[in-house]
Chain A
Amino acid sequence: MQILTFLLNDELFAIDITLVDTIENKMPITPVPNCKKYVIGLISNRGSVIPVINTSLILNDNNANNIFEKFIIINLGNEKLALAVNEIDDVLEIEEKTIENINNDEDFSIVNVNSNVITLLTYKQLKKI
């Protein structure tokens, strides 16, 4: 399978590429009042209005001062979400069997890439949002 790696606070994370629709440069975000803490606002992309998620927060990283340069637009069923990240790193080919679950919890998967352990965002984890 292929994964898309990206940077948050100088740390590498990954996402299954089949979940990804496109990646986009940063664009103006329209703030939305009274919404969940991890929703920064809304963007308009290719005719759709998409909520922007502060990816740091859902990954339990409380650094709120991130400068989000890129958006990863993902498909979750019929819904689209924009994951705000610092930087897109690469597209990598990995063996599916190298994915490991932590504490037998399928929500937290890690993958070993070039002897670096990277947290892999999964469909289940994202579906919770």
Chain B
Amino acid sequence: MIRKLNNGDLDLTVLEIKDVIDTKLLQTFQDNFAVGMNIASITVDKDGTPVTKSSSYTSFCMEFTQSTKVGENRCALSHKKGGEEAAKNLKPSIYTCHAGLIDFAAPILIGDYLIGTILGGQVLTSEPEEEKYRKIANEIGVNEEGYVDAVKKISVTNEKNVTAAAEVLYIVANALSKAGYEKLKLSIMSQTLSENFSQISATMEELSASSINVTNNQHNLSDEIVNVKKISIEINTILDSIKSIADETKMLGLNAAIEAARAGDAGRGFGVVATEIRTLSQNSKETAIKIMDLTNKIQESVDKTMDTSHATLETTEQQSAAIQEVTSNLMEVTTLADELNSMANNNKSYS
């Protein structure tokens, strides 16, 4: 089963042979190898369940030894022992089975992790002793004569050949599993890459859109600021008018005071009014000057804001351009990642 861990790595504890090795290819290889070397073999997963059909199994094993419950158990025990030995040492182990045949167990590893075992052998290194096999036949409850006949059909070879055969199976199966595993990793990585790039691409597009918004808003802001400046200049013009009205009022007040003085005692009341008018004109003028100070401050502020706004506008425009560039680069990279992904997935079918 292909399962990813939280950190994105493959979970080796659930990885199976069929995930990394094309079992059809393995079967073909194993069958041809078995015929060529005259050595039986089968591939099992880490739980001992066969993942290939047995190749060139002898009738001694198939039809006799494993035909009874006792024989099958003894075989299973031998296999288990051999398999455990191989798994422990992480290299092929050669051993003699309960029935005296030479067997081997070659571990299929990913790194140091066992995903299966190639079991094989069923050969003899010397001519069988009839007495021994009659005894075993009785122990496991099969026909003595048939068992002896069957054992005589088993090919006799030397241990060197068996070791070499085990080594070849070990090397090829592990090369296949390693290549398969790498391709699987590649496939998963390229898929992740492709997905991530798609996401980044989408995010960048959003970013691009929002940066255009920012630029537009900044433009609007600049325009509004220009309006504020125009209005403050208009206010100053009006204030100039108010100031000259105040000056005129002062003149009026002074002339009124002169008239009042000329009228003597009769003009005293009017003189007070004239003074009030002068005070009023003075106040108006002072107020106008204060307002003018304020509008000048507004204009200074506006000028500073304009500078900042121009700088911001430049920056946001640069940002927009940069984002667009990144987006277009990203699209190329995304296309590459997609290609990589489809390549990695095509490769998988060849393994």
Q: State how many angstroms separate the Cβ of B272 from the closest Cβ of chain A.
A: 11
**Residues from chain B with Cβ under 8 Å of A105 in the complex:** none
Chain B contributes a number of interface residues (CB within 8 A of A) equal to: 12
A24: nearest residue on chain B (CB-CB)? B251
Q: How long is the Cα–Cα vector from A17 to B258 in the complex, in angstroms?
A: 6
Q: State how many angstroms separate the Cβ of B226 from the closest Cβ of chain A.
A: 36
Q: State how many angstroms separate the Cβ of B266 from the closest Cβ of chain A.
A: 14
Contact B251 A91 (CB under 8 A): no
Choose one: B250, B251, B257, B278; the contact of A17 (CB below 8 Å): B257
**Residues from chain A with Cβ under 8 Å of B254 in the complex:** 4, 23, 88, 90-91
Give the dominant DSSP class at B's interface.
helix
CB contact list, A55-75 vs B, under 8 A: none
Evaluate whether A91 and B257 lie within 8 angstroms (CB atoms) in the complex, with A23-B251, A25-B251 already known. yes
* A18 in contact (CB, < 8 A): yes
CB contact list, B233-258 vs A, under 8 A: 250-251, 254-255, 257-258
Q: State how many angstroms separate the Cβ of B199 from the closest Cβ of chain A.
A: 76
Q: How long is the Cα–Cα vector from A57 to B278 in the complex, in angstroms?
A: 29
**Residues from chain B with Cβ under 8 Å of A20 in the complex:** 258, 261
Contact B255 A18 (CB under 8 A): no
Chain A contributes a number of interface residues (CB within 8 A of B) equal to: 12
**Residues from chain B with Cβ under 8 Å of A2 in the complex:** 257, 261, 271
Give the dominant DSSP class at A's interface.
strand
Contact B251 A88 (CB under 8 A): yes
**Residues from chain A with Cβ under 8 Å of B275 in the complex:** 91
Q: State how many angstroms separate the Cβ of A84 from the closest Cβ of chain B.
A: 15
Contact string against B for A residues 77-97, beta-carbon threshold 8 Å, 1 for contact and 0 otherwise: 000000000001011000000
Q: How long is the Cα–Cα vector from A18 to B261 in the complex, in angstroms?
A: 7
CB contact list, A19-41 vs B, under 8 A: 20-23, 25
Q: How long is the Cα–Cα vector from A90 to B278 in the complex, in angstroms?
A: 8
* B109 in contact (CB, < 8 A): no
B256: nearest residue on chain A (CB-CB)? A91
Q: State how many angstroms separate the Cβ of A49 from the closest Cβ of chain B.
A: 20
A-B pairs with the 7 shortest C-beta distances? A91-B257, A17-B261, A2-B261, A20-B258, A23-B254, A22-B255, A88-B254
- Residues on A facing B (Cβ under 8 Å): 2, 4, 17-18, 20-23, 25, 88, 90-91
Task: List, sorted by A's number, 21 A–B pairs whose CB atoms are closer than 8 Å.
Answer: A2-B257, A2-B261, A17-B257, A17-B258, A17-B261, A17-B262, A18-B261, A20-B261, A22-B255, A22-B258, A23-B254, A23-B255, A23-B258, A25-B251, A88-B250, A88-B251, A90-B254, A90-B278, A91-B257, A91-B258, A91-B278
